[in-house]
Chain A
């Protein structure tokens, strides 16, 4: 076991901690959308934080079995996924009208944004703590 001072320990744990935090946020959002403790999630194509820490999410290999689809890109999305609830990881994913919301970075800060009409289309009611992240579009 290496002897390591706190400074270096903290530096090396930062990246891991980053991924863990991002995973927690994805987990939280999915839980609020699906109202399930353990949701089936299809990832198109790769979200690194969930690759490392999937949390309570069950990552499935087939869109048909998913409660929700998380996107790292909207390109080449399998057609069967379009029937599912789509959630993005970039601001630009919201340009796709089937994407209900996104968790993304902007101006050096992480952001979450949902569009009200798209939530209604899927009969999704988020809890009130998400009110500030919903836009009337």
Chain B
């Protein structure tokens, strides 16, 4: 009742303030993120439509580069991998990415981040990031981080838009969308072409590139209770350093053709949901190495010398998820049953020398998953969440099945100023196919990894200031590591990590805000060497002056291995010429002093010490100018 009174007071107060204020209040109340976000689902960071517009977020990596605890990173194949630790493992496999209700999945890697971590955001309305083992409602399989992307809708984006951007090195992007709402249905259609050109890097006389051309099509059709979406992608470009440690490639090429089809339906007053999705991807990789490039150093990944290889990886998945919610007097119970079919084929692999083909231990994995979540409403201020989820991974062939279980307990306290969230969880993660099926580095005997964690978050809101403190501690059993024959093994020792963050947001006015963030990340090394300890600081300012939106961000990263501290300063200015025409300018890492990433090139075979590395910026310096025209 108190809150109702507050809302009414707020409404009547704003009514007296004129049309500007009414519009601003309405924009805030109607923000789509308010309808989709779930505070009880975990530790949440929301980037609203207004944030994305004013920050000029061109691609997902513009958010990931300054995300709490992380900095955007790629692997040796120039694929997004924000937790990149070694040349083979894909540590970001627990980072699950969703477009509306369906997961953008790579069946072989576990996470679709590898394909979609730097996708353009021109068709996205808002983004939610759940950090630290969020609710089991989201997916079939457990996650360490969930990134939820929500596409634009006819409700808030009537009509169409064309956008064109050009930038450094000839980078260019063009896209168009059109959306409309009829009496009984609405639709959204989007097409994009991006030619992302980057700096090239000379190493051992060869030129390394990270260019990527992307063509994307997305369409959705929605009625009150049902929706269908089609998502198609063709991406091709350079493969940077490739996974062949010890060799600098002369020429590389990668290409992905992806198609996804998904449906979502709600029944029984939205209490029963059925989501289904199908994905199919064909990934081509090829690289060529100069003759004599091996230079006497053993090739560390493959036990033979070669000078070119080409591989086609085929992936396919089908997911069905049925969820029922009962809203009882003092609790909300949700039960879900989910099924996922994964198919992956890595056998199409050709070297320039005659290497006998090795069979793949299994090509199909069926995942059966069930979960139960109980939200117990103790009183107006206190909520307890109890969750349990279990998966059975059934693998064809002679490979052992895996059974994994996740448990989660949460306590949330909320009042007018304070929110406190406490989550305790114990979660097992099955080994992903890429870790087991490769004849070169895979290991069929891998055991599931197990995380045990406690996370505490405090939010304090008073007038126009929001303060947050985040603390987490976790242990990690059976972490996958690379042994000295470059095969993936479970670490013998458990490793622990702890994380802390403090954040302050000051709203000077409705359109002017300052965000200050400091966070700390510590992870023991599974290799019994030095621990990973790094600190990130972000100062972000969003201002609007008349027809100008101004964005400033300084991200400071310190303590990262083998590279200097990074100072990434980005700035953006957007000018509204009129309601139909907008012009924008953006500079990323404008002082070219942002964080770099070090990739191993040569290792001393006797001492194991790294003797040569390739060091490149995680986010390159670039300038973009663009225009948007609405029709």
The residues of A with any CB-CB pair to B shorter than 8 Å are: 2-11, 13-15, 17-18, 20-22, 24-25, 28-29, 32, 90-92, 104-113, 129-130, 132-133, 135
Contact = CB atoms under 8 A, between A and B. Distances in A.
B158 A22 contact: no
Select the residue from B26, B125, B330 with max chain A CB neighbours within 10 A: B26
A5 B26 contact: no
B377 A104 contact: no
B414 A105 contact: no
B39 A129 contact: no
Interface in B1-46: 3-4, 7, 11, 15, 18-20, 22-23, 25-27, 29-30, 32, 34-35, 39-40
Given A3-B379, A5-B414, A91-B158, A107 B330 contact: no
B53 A107 contact: yes
Top 3 nearest A-B pairs by Cβ distance? Answer: A108-B49, A21-B26, A6-B414
A135 B578 CA distance: 10
17 contacts: A5-B380, A5-B382, A15-B35, A18-B26, A21-B25, A21-B26, A25-B19, A25-B23, A25-B26, A106-B159, A107-B53, A108-B50, A129-B18, A130-B19, A132-B20, A133-B19, A135-B579
B204 interface: no
B398 interface: no
B146 to A, nearest CB: 18
Given A17-B29, A108-B49, A3 B377 contact: yes
Interface in B378-425: 378-383, 412, 414-415
A128 to B, nearest CB: 10
B11 A24 contact: yes
Interface in B433-456: none
B22 A92 contact: no
B329 interface: yes
Nearest to A14: B34
B523 interface: no
A5 B377 CA distance: 6
A104 B381 contact: no
Interface size class, chain B: 35 or more
Interface string B349-376: 0000000000000000000000000000
Select the residue from A3, A10, A14, A129 with max chain B CB neighbours within 10 A: A3
A91 B19 contact: no
A135 B576 CA distance: 14
B157 interface: yes
B493 interface: no
Nearest to B18: A129
A28 B19 contact: yes
Given A90-B158, A110-B30, A5 B381 contact: yes
Given A14-B35, A24-B11, A91-B158, A109 B27 contact: yes
Nearest to A15: B35
B416 to A, nearest CB: 8
A3 B381 CA distance: 10
B305 interface: no
A60 to B, nearest CB: 22
Select the residue from A18, A92, A107 with max chain B CB neighbours within 10 A: A107
A24 B23 contact: no
Contacts of A9: 3
Contacts of B622: none
B22 A25 contact: yes
A20 B11 contact: yes
A55 to B, nearest CB: 10
Given A7-B40, A110-B30, A129-B20, 17 more contacts: A3-B329, A3-B379, A4-B377, A5-B377, A5-B382, A5-B383, A5-B412, A6-B381, A7-B383, A8-B332, A20-B11, A22-B26, A24-B11, A29-B19, A105-B156, A106-B158, A106-B630
B93 interface: no
Nearest to B52: A108
A115 to B, nearest CB: 12
Given A3-B379, A5-B382, A105 B158 contact: yes
Interface string B152-164: 1001111101000
Contacts of A8: 332, 377
A17 B125 CA distance: 20
